[in-house]
Amino acid sequence: MDILDKILDLIEKKYKIFVIIIFSLILLFSSYLVTKYFSSGEILKKSLSLSGGYLISFNNPGIELNDIKYALKYINSSGNVYSSGNIIYIESEHKIDTNQLVSALYELYKVNISESSISTYEYSSSVGNIIFNQFVQFLIIAIILSSIAISIRYRKKEVSIILISTLLFDYLAVISILSMLDYPISSIGFIALFLIIGFAIDNNVVLATNMIKETDLTFKERARKSFRIGLLMEAIIAIIAIFLYILVPSLQVKEFSLILIIATLIDTYYYIFGNIPLYKLLLFREEKKEDHTSTTASTTQ
């Protein structure tokens, strides 16, 4: 018996416990996000491009990031300093006087920076609010339309319930983890969050097709048939995202790939210990009783 059989046997025997754990986690994630919202006024930390502020960039003249931070303090300013490739970035909620910064860097470290090489961008917080509101609206509409389409396709309300629970768990878990990490989300991050809908639905379609259509197979046989395909889909996305995160220095790409990595791990967990137990609970919980009844009748005859 391989590990897959052991997992499916465990799910078949303890499916109610797995369902209780899943919905306990949904309640836990929901409670955390509600508490976070009322304590801090926001669920996710927004990046500068969404929250509003200023971004300064210039080519690295051969100076340490800590030296730039000290130079900012020297001119009574502050900001988040980081680099990507050979470019240094300074994010700040308030406008920084670049003339003073250039003078401070020369005075402190004898570093010459041409003011013409410094770029300053201003971001409005209203743009971030629009993006966030549209994301929430699109997410609600996507879940409703997806549930209706799945319900029409399979003509079983249980499949729609499982799809909704999948999207609910995935989003609550991913957003909770990003919130705990205090990870700043930009518009790129919201695009990555949209993609969760795609692979969550794909996996559900594969699983639902086998669970509903393969009427000559037992629950375990149907789950096994879907299992490898579902995990392969998740693994491909995760591997691509990991390579992107490691190989591409762009901060936007790293944000995009990090969210995908977290999302695929969460969805893989739910696929195994949420989706399959829910199908057992909603559609196949009478299977053992029927088998036992058939066995008893055969023995009597």
Q: How far apart are CA 155 and CA 160, in angstroms?
A: 9
Residue 297 is predicted with a pLDDT of: 43
> How many C-beta neighbours within 10 Å does residue 119 have?
12
Q: Could you tell me the CA-to-CA distances from 58 to 71, 173, 222, 240, 259 in Å, in that order?
A: 15, 37, 57, 31, 28
pLDDT for 266 equals 94
Q: What are the structure tokens assigned to 207, written together? A: 């699983």
CATH superfamily of 53-123: ACT domain (3.30.70.260)
CA distance 210 to 161: 17
Domain with CATH 1.20.1640.10 in the chain: 3-46+126-291
Per-residue pLDDT, 1: 52
Where in the chain do CATH 3.30.70.260 domains reside? 53-123
Q: Give this prediction's pTM.
A: 0.81
Q: DSSP of 242-299, one letter per residue?
A: HHHHHH---HHHHHHHHHHHHHHHHHHHHIIIIIHHHHHHHHSTTHHHHHHHHHHHHH
Assigned token pair, 216: 């000559």
Please give the pLDDT value at position 2.
Answer: 77
- Rounded Cα distance between 79 and 56, Å, is 10
**Phi, psi values for residue 41, rounded to 5°:** 85, 0
Would you call 83 helix, strand, or coil by DSSP?
Answer: strand
pLDDT (tens, 9 = 90+) of the chain, 301 residues, equals: 578 888 889 999 999 999 999 999 999 999 999 999 999 888 888 888 777 888 899 988 888 889 999 999 999 998 888 887 788 989 888 889 999 999 999 999 988 888 788 898 888 777 667 777 787 788 788 778 877 887 787 778 888 888 889 989 999 999 999 999 988 888 888 888 888 888 788 888 888 888 888 888 888 888 888 887 888 888 888 999 999 999 887 888 899 999 999 999 999 999 999 999 999 998 887 655 545 444 444 444 4
Alpha-carbon distance 275 to 272, whole Å? 6
CATH of domain 3-46+126-291: 1.20.1640.10
